[in-house]
Structure 1
Amino acid sequence: MNIYVFAKWQVKEGQLNTVLELLKVAAAKSREEEGNLFYDIHQSQQDVNTLLLYEGYTSEAAVAEHRNSAYFQELVVGQIVPLLENREVTVASKLDTI
């Protein structure tokens, strides 16, 4: 079953360009993962410091592999997260019955 990750990042004032540069690298590496279906990044039209990430993975194991990867720990957890005011992450599966 495919797994989807929805993340909302509120970037600290003055840190957007740094976050976007780091995110380019993280997104490219994520898209190379065997279990990755897609990795899309959106920016709020109401607040440029709000980024929305929409990611798809082939399984829960693929999500775990993504989160445990060295680049994720270094780039996202180590460098990007300290530049965020807030970070919300929701992991979901698609309801095909509706």
Structure 2
Amino acid sequence: MDTKKVFVHAKWEVKEGKSETVIQLMREAAEKSSQEEGNLFYKVHQSQTDRNTLILYEGYANEAAVELHRNSDHFKEIVLEQVVPLLESREVILMNQLF
């Protein structure tokens, strides 16, 4: 079994006037995601200079935990179905810690 931790860095550009809606939706998504087996943390940040830029930083015990997250009902229903349509762009980077 792969035990290498996986970290996710996501940069979202929210459509003008939609940031408060996205933040409210992400409160629920973060709460549910933090309770998943294998989740180490789930943090949502907002840029100090551009309120429409959100950065998500997530940690997972391994690849299986990332897949569990991506296949969860709350990820599909909240993030994919409700949040993604409110974004101008979405960049997601999966990372492994080097040191």
Q: Considering the TM-score relative to the shorter chain, is it more than 0.5?
A: yes
Matching residue of 1:2: 5
Following TM superposition, by how much is the alpha carbon of 1:28 offset from its aligned partner in structure 2, in angstroms? 0.1
Among 43, 61, 77, which residue is 1:40 paired with? 43
Matching residue of 2:69: 66
Unaligned runs of 5+ in 1: none
The two structures have a TM-score, normalised by structure 1, of 0.96
The reply on whether 1:11 has 2:14 as its aligned counterpart is yes
Following TM superposition, by how much is the alpha carbon of 1:20 offset from its aligned partner in structure 2, in angstroms? 0.6
Matched residue count? 96
The two structures have a TM-score, normalised by structure 2, of 0.95
Unaligned runs of 5+ in 2: none
Among 66, 75, 78, which residue is 1:75 paired with? 78
Aligned CA-pair RMSD: 0.5
- Other structure's SS at 1:87 match: strand
Following TM superposition, by how much is the alpha carbon of 1:83 offset from its aligned partner in structure 2, in angstroms? 0.1
Following TM superposition, by how much is the alpha carbon of 1:34 offset from its aligned partner in structure 2, in angstroms? 1.2
